[in-house]
């Protein structure tokens, strides 16, 4: 305890890389827990925090960019320093980060940079379609939908692993719903091609089968285990490893993911391509360096990794914030991430389902599916509003 007490007398700097769910929650919680003498610095390439789950509503015209985002500068009133810029390098051994040619040094470093989207890894993909995982892509898809009256919509996952595992399945159902609302459904075919063999496989066969039933119940044709190799934008044709090809008139896709360049070049990633951490404390192999959220890879007993989802980033951030505060000021108890999480699944028609459970359960995750209904959709709407109000 004497070490903790001594540490509390010094001014400490906590540097948080990334202003997404994990970085935001870490910064705000630390500011609540630490005395004002300690600096909390949040770094992000963007000036605004985007509530990414609502991109699915934005793509079908139910939200605007302004309604699902908040300026990160608003965190200044909470006593959090905000720096905007591109991270050039990270030295985890010394906790030194270079941003715009300027070095930033920290006593504690939290890496919450998320996953980098890399559509260029599939030839022709970016030119052929719209990525609803980005604001620009969701907005361009919304624009394309306005004039889409007939033809084939294809929703595609370009790789088997991606963040927000429910999102492509939600996207297919919401696009189908949009076509019905615009009274063009009879002239539109909706197909879902996924690289993975089933929806949200880590949740178990029963839950996965339930999501597939929801999708197919909407009249969406589901094509699992289809790994795209290239896309021909001019011919509007997708080529797969084990399937000749698929034509489309409108393509909505999930791009391949990878750890951000600065993270890879820092030597932080392991064999999985993601940052290995202690599954309970989120500590890396470097002293006083933590990583959380989509940038980490946490293996589960069944051979699959913990899904990349905001629900886990949020819980992990609470753990990291508590343990850093404990290390600095010696107050409270240590915290541990327990693998619990939940996820809404939007079906359209003002309805949603919910999955909730323990992903650290042995030998397989224990996830319960809650029957779709309007109350779960209302719950997601309330969560969106609360998120944008509570954290800013």
pLDDT at position 9 is 53
Distances (CA, A) of 64 to 143, 173, 382, 392: 12, 20, 17, 19
Given the structure tokens 């509530």, which residue do they identify? 51
What single-letter DSSP state applies at residue 295?
G
Instruction: Look at residue 2 and tell me whether its pLDDT is greater than 60.
Output: no
pTM for the whole thing?
0.95
Decide: 384 and 48 in contact? Cβ < 8 Å: no
The residues pairing with 345 across neighbouring beta strands, listed in sequence order, are 353
pLDDT at position 244 is 79
Count Cβ atoms below 10 Å from residue 119 Cβ, excluding itself: 22
Nearest alpha-carbon partner for 237 in 170, 161, 118, 152: 152
Average pLDDT over every residue of 233-255:
95
| CATH 3.50.50.60 location in the chain | 2-115+259-340, 125-257
What single-letter DSSP state applies at residue 275?
B
- Name the fold adopted by 125-257: FAD/NAD(P)-binding domain (3.50.50)
Nearest alpha-carbon partner for 249 in 137, 121, 149: 149
Instruction: Look at residue 207 and tell me whether its pLDDT is greater than 70.
Output: yes
Count Cβ atoms below 10 Å from residue 230 Cβ, excluding itself: 14
Q: Are strands 69-71 and 81-84 parallel, antiparallel or unpaired?
A: unpaired
Torsion of CA 102, 287, 36, 97, to 10 degrees: 10
Average pLDDT over every residue of 170-197:
98
Count Cβ atoms below 10 Å from residue 239 Cβ, excluding itself: 16
pLDDT at position 242 is 82
Q: Are strands 108-111 and 366-373 parallel, antiparallel or unpaired?
A: unpaired
Tens digit of each residue's pLDDT (9 = 90 or more) over 312-368: 999 999 999 999 999 999 988 999 999 999 999 999 999 999 999 999 999 999 999
pLDDT at position 1 is 39
State the greatest distance between any 2 C-alpha atoms of the chain, in Å, as a whole number: 72
pLDDT exceeding 90 applies to what percent of the chain?
Answer: 95
pLDDT at position 8 is 46
Tokens in use for 171? 């996207």
Separation CA 20–CA 386 (nearest Å): 16
Decide: 220 and 190 in contact? Cβ < 8 Å: yes
**Confidence at 182, pLDDT banded by 50, 70, 90:** very high
3-class SS of residue 200: coil
Instruction: Look at residue 211 and tell me whether its pLDDT is greater than 60.
Output: yes
Nearest alpha-carbon partner for 113 in 139, 73, 85: 85
Distances (CA, A) of 257 to 42, 113, 261, 346: 23, 13, 12, 23
Separation CA 319–CA 336 (nearest Å): 6
Separation CA 374–CA 216 (nearest Å): 20
Tens digit of each residue's pLDDT (9 = 90 or more) over 50-108: 999 999 999 999 999 999 999 999 999 999 999 999 999 999 999 999 998 999 999 99
Q: Which CATH number fits domain 2-115+259-340: 3.50.50.60, 1.10.10.10, 1.20.120.1200, 3.30.450.40?
A: 3.50.50.60
E-only strand ranges, 186-285: 188-193, 221-223, 228-232, 237-240, 246-247, 250-254, 257-258
What single-letter DSSP state applies at residue 51?
-
Tokens in use for 26? 């870490």
Decide: 164 and 309 in contact? Cβ < 8 Å: yes
* Mean pLDDT of the chain, nearest integer: 96
**Confidence at 3, pLDDT banded by 50, 70, 90:** very low
Q: Kindly report the length of the chain.
A: 392
Helix or strand (DSSP H, E) at 182: none
Decide: 278 and 135 in contact? Cβ < 8 Å: no
Decide: 60 and 107 in contact? Cβ < 8 Å: no
What single-letter DSSP state applies at residue 197?
S
């Amino acid at each position: 305890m004497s070490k903790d007490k001594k540490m509390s007398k010094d001014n400490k700097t906590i540097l948080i890389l990334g202003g997404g769910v994990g970085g935001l929650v870490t910064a705000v919680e630390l500011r609540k827990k630490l005395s004002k003498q300690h600096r909390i610095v949040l770094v992000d390439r963007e000036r605004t925090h985007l509530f990414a789950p609502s991109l699915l509503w934005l793509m079908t015209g139910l939200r605007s960019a302004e309604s699902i985002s908040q300026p990160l500068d608003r965190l200044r009133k909470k006593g959090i320093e905000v720096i905007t810029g591109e991270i050039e390098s990270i030295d985890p051994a010394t906790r030194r980060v270079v941003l715009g040619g300027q070095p930033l040094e920290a006593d504690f470093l939290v890496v919450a940079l998320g996953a980098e989207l890399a559509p260029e890894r599939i030839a022709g993909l970016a030119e052929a379609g719209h990525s609803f995982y980005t604001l620009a892509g969701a907005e361009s898809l919304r624009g394309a939908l306005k004039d889409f009256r007939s033809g084939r919509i294809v929703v595609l996952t370009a790789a088997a692993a991606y963040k927000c595992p429910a999102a492509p399945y939600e996207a297919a159902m919401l696009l189908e719903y949009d076509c019905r609302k615009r009274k063009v459904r009879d002239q539109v075919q909706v197909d879902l091609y996924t690289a993975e063999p089933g929806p949200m496989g880590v949740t178990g066969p029963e839950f996965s089968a339930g999501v597939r039933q929801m999708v197919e119940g909407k009249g969406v044709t589901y094509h699992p285990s289809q790994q795209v190799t290239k896309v021909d934008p001019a011919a509007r044709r997708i080529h797969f490893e084990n399937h000749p090809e698929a034509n489309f008139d409108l393509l909505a896709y999930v791009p391949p993911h990878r750890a951000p360049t600065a993270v890879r070049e820092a030597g932080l990633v392991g064999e999985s391509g993601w940052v290995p951490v202690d599954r309970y404390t989120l500590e890396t192999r470097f002293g006083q360096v933590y990583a959380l959220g989509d940038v980490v890879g946490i293996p589960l007993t069944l051979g699959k990794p913990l899904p990349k989802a905001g629900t886990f980033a949020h819980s992990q951030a609470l753990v990291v914030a508590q343990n850093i505060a404990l290390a600095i000021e010696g107050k409270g108890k240590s915290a541990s991430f327990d693998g619990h999480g939940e996820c809404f699944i939007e079906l359209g028609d003002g309805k949603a389902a919910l999955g909730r459970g323990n992903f650290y359960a042995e030998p397989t995750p224990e996830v319960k599916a809650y029957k779709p209904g309007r109350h779960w959709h209302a719950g997601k709407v309330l969560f969106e509003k609360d998120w944008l109000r509570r954290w800013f």
